[in-house]
């Protein structure tokens, strides 16, 4: 009887264990919560992750402030000068789009082969911009895109930085440095610009104003004089030159041969576009042989010079200032070596920018 009870107890225990096992399901796997520091990126114009960065504020060239949610990582540049400056401060890898004119500049495109063509700088292609999903588009402050309304309607963020006028060059560099997270590199460049300008202007102040030579400065277009407020006029003023067009009503003005002859300039400077295909000697010969110009002191004394626009405007304008000061006041600026400065810029900032001469002859 005791055996029977033992056997029965064992059977009941086995049944209980089987039932208990059957009532216990597989362990549920809890879903993994997404990391609070990472949010899904919406597919749209911007690729920025709004929850993982700090807002950045800069002052644009026109003096207005703009605040972005993050340091932009995907940048389109409709301003070739800004593209060169970004490369100079080490932010070229953030450029994913440039304009048609920039694609023709070999020393820029060599550094940013990833950049796509988004069309004309004055009317950039909205569809191409949207397809690249930029965080920001950098454009000229002094010559804004003609389709700004379309760009704004497409929710494209625009930042206005000139990066070409000498008086605002250091400011724009610092703004770009803050924007892209390259503040230290931008500061080094900005101080180089400021120190160069300070050295030149300090020397110019020791020269009597009545010794400032008269200069006719002509832009890309023949007989288009650079008036007050133009980039060329600013260089002349800082370098100790007297612009014979300082009294015209605009920053540029169409004039005549007679107008130049009547004002008898001591020097003649002409700016040549980077898109020019004619050899400098050919352009220079045509300039000095204009009808009636053989009576102008600048022509008679071989003081007619061509300037590549790269040293009149843009990140290398501080070197253009040194070239200008040395031409106007050779005895006072013998110790400065603008060609060596150009070589240093190519070594430290943007290689290839010293491949061709900047001033002729």
**Average pLDDT, stretch 172-201?**
98
- Residue 13, pLDDT score: 45
* Beta bridge partner(s), residue 117: 98
Model pLDDT, residue 249: 85
* Residue 43, pLDDT score: 32
Say if residue 111's pLDDT is above 70: yes
Q: What are the φ/ψ torsions at residue 337 (nearest 5 degrees)?
A: -130, 85
Distances (CA, A) of 211 to 173, 204, 205, 240: 34, 10, 11, 9
pLDDT at 327 over 80: yes
- The pLDDT assigned to 275 comes to 80
pTM of the model: 0.84
CB count in 10 Å sphere of residue 87: 22
281-307 burial by CB neighbour count: b if 16+ within 10 A, else e? eeebeebeebeebeebebbeeebbbbb
Looking at residues 102-112, what average pLDDT do you find?
96
Does residue 355 have a pLDDT over 90? no
Nearest Cα to Cα of residue 352 among 337, 360, 342:
342
**pLDDT tens readout for residues 217-260:** 999 999 999 999 899 999 999 999 999 999 998 999 999 999 99
Instruction: Taking residues 90-108, report their average pLDDT.
Output: 96
Average pLDDT over every residue of 296-304: 98
Q: Between 339 and 1, whose confidence is greater?
A: 339
Mean pLDDT of the chain: 88
Burial category of 335 from C-beta neighbours within 10 Å (exposed 0-12, middle 13-18, buried 19 and up): exposed
> Is the pLDDT score of 262 beyond 60?
yes
Mean pLDDT computed over 263-282: 94
Q: Which domains does the chain have, with CATH numbers?
A: 50-187 (3.40.50.1980), 207-360 (3.40.50.1980)
Q: Is the pLDDT higher at 275 or at 339?
A: 339
Dump pLDDT digits (tens) for 11-59.
Answer: 434 333 333 444 344 333 333 333 333 333 333 345 554 457 899 999 9
What's the confidence (pLDDT) of residue 48?
A: 53
Strands (E) across 99-181 are located at 116-117, 136-139, 158-160
In the structure, what pLDDT confidence band is assigned to residue 361 with cuts at 50, 70 and 90? Answer: very high
> Strand 65-68 and strand 56-59: pairing?
antiparallel
Query: DSSP secondary-structure letter at 132?
Result: T
Beta bridge partners of 138: 77, 159
**Alpha-carbon separation of residue 53 from 70, 307, 357 (angstroms):** 5, 44, 44
Mean pLDDT of all residues in 333-344 = 96
Evaluate the omega torsion of the peptide bond into residue 151 and state whether it is cis, within 30 degrees of 0. Answer: no
Query: Is the pLDDT score of 273 beyond 50?
Result: yes
Does the pLDDT value for residue 197 go beyond 70?
yes
């Amino acid at each position: 009887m005791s055996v029977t009870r033992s056997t029965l107890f064992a059977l009941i225990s086995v049944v209980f264990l089987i039932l208990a096992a059957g009532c216990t399901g597989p362990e549920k796997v809890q879903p993994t919560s997404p990391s609070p520091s990472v949010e899904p990126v919406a597919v749209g114009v911007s690729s920025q992750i709004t929850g993982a960065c700090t807002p950045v504020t800069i002052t644009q060239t026109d003096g207005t402030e703009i605040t972005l949610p993050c340091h932009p990582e995907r940048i389109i540049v409709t301003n070739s000068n800004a593209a060169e400056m970004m490369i100079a401060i080490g932010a070229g890898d953030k450029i994913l789009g440039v304009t048609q004119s920039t694609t023709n500049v070999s020393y820029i495109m060599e550094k940013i082969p990833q950049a796509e063509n988004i069309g004309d700088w004055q009317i950039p292609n909205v569809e191409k911009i949207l397809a690249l999903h930029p965080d920001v588009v950098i454009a000229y402050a002094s010559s804004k895109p003609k389709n700004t309304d379309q760009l704004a309607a497409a929710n494209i963020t625009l930042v206005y930085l000139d990066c070409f006028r000498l008086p605002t060059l250091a400011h724009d560099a610092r703004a770009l440095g803050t924007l892209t997270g390259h503040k230290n590199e931008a500061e080094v460049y900005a101080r180089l610009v400021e120190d160069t300008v300070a050295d030149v202007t300090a020397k110019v102040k020791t020269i009597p104003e009545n010794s400032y030579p008269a200069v006719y400065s002509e832009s890309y277009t023949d007989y288009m004089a650079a008036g007050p407020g133009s980039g060329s006029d600013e260089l002349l003023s800082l370098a100790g030159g007297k612009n014979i067009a300082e009294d015209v009503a605009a920053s540029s003005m169409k004039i005549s041969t007679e107008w130049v002859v009547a004002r008898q300039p001591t020097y003649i400077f002409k700016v040549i576009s980077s898109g020019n295909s004619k050899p400098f000697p050919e352009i220079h010969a045509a300039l000095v042989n204009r009808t009636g110009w053989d009576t102008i002191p600048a022509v008679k004394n071989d003081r007619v010079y061509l300037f590549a626009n790269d040293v009149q405007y843009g990140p290398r304008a501080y070197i253009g200032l040194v070239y200008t000061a040395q031409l106007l006041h050779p005895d006072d600026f013998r110790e400065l070596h603008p060609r060596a400065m150009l070589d240093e810029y190519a070594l430290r900032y943007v290689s290839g920018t010293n491949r061709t001469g900047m001033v002729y002859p």
